[in-house]
Amino acid sequence: QVQLQQWGAGLLKPSETLSLTCAVYGGSFSGYYWSWIRQPPGKGLEWIGEINHSGSTNYNPSLKSRVTISVDTSKNQFSLKLSSVTAADTAVYYCASKQYYDILPRGWFDPWGQGTLVTVSS
Amino acid sequence: DIQMTQSPSSVSASVGDRVTITCRASQGISSWLAWYQQKPGKAPKLLIYAASSLQSGVPSRFSGSGSGTDFTLTISSLQPEDFATYYCQQANSFPHTFGQGTKLEIK
């Protein structure tokens, strides 16, 4: 059964780059898309983007200019970088596995990592 | 982007009650819809996928229905551990989008 464990810096200053990593344990690294989703305090969920084992990515257009998702298949890890952060990027960031069913790729998120609160403040 | 609108935004109910939450998509998404449960301080948990398929390990009191633009999540008999926030998510197209959430509170 797949488990995800994530880590990264929790306090950033405006204009810095957010960097988070998620490790995948207990399952196949291929055959899934590996996603990042965020949740501002007290608010709803926003899909950031995803990557598969071969490096194919999909990004939310609202964040695409600032987001890079990468993969390290040798370590079964994937990472998120979000540049030029502002207070609006303050959120809990989750990594998640997406099992997909077609070429688009369509699918749902399960399981999720434990979440990392990232606060942007001067 | 496909907008997902949940109703109600919050609902109060008692243990043993039947509760229905609605999710409406701004355009047709076939059955590409999932439901998640989130408890405070925890990551969301997948309950229902493909609009009506129960995720492994999820109690059978949870059920989903709908297709196209209108979907429902039903909890047949509320248990104390069901008080949480519920989100729908469309997987039909990018960007994947979520509803704003429905908070289920104890009456």
Across the range B83-93, mean pLDDT stands at 97
How many other C-beta atoms are found inside a 10 Å radius of the C-beta of residue B42?
12
Using a CB-CB cut-off of 8 Å, the residues of chain B touching A62 are: 95
Using a CB-CB cut-off of 8 Å, the residues of chain B touching A46 are: 98
Query: Nearest Cα to B55, choosing from A112, A45, A27, A5?
Result: A112
Using a CB-CB cut-off of 8 Å, the residues of chain B touching A113 are: 43
Nearest CA in chain A to B89: A108
Q: What is the pLDDT of residue B65?
A: 98
Q: DSSP letter at B80? A: G
B69 versus A1: the higher-pLDDT residue is B69
How many other C-beta atoms are found inside a 10 Å radius of the C-beta of residue B3?
12
Using a CB-CB cut-off of 8 Å, the residues of chain B touching A107 are: 91
Which residue pairs from B66-69 have beta carbons closer than 8 angstroms and sit at least 24 positions apart in sequence? B66/B23, B66/B31, B66/B33, B67/B30, B67/B31, B68/B25, B68/B28, B68/B29, B68/B30, B69/B24, B69/B25, B69/B26, B69/B27, B69/B28, B69/B29
Cα(B35)–Cα(B72) distance, integer angstroms: 9
Q: Do B45 and A46 touch (CB under 8 A)?
A: no
Q: Is the dihedral of CA A25, A81, A54, A108 positive or negative?
A: positive
Q: Nearest CA to CA, how far is A30 from chain B (Å)?
A: 20
pLDDT tens by residue, chain A, 122 residues: 899 999 999 999 999 999 999 999 998 888 899 999 999 999 999 999 999 999 999 999 999 999 999 999 999 999 999 999 999 999 999 999 998 888 889 999 999 999 999 999 99
Q: Do B89 and A94 touch (CB under 8 A)?
A: no
pLDDT tens across B28-60, in order?
999 999 999 999 999 999 999 999 999 999 999
Type of residue found at A81: K
Cα(A48)–Cα(A75) distance, integer angstroms: 22
Q: What is the pLDDT of residue B51?
A: 98
Q: pLDDT band for B7, please (50, 70, 90 cuts).
A: very high
Decide if B95 contacts B89 (C-beta within 8 A): no
Interchain CB contacts (distance < 8 Å): A and B? 53
Q: DSSP letter at A105? A: -
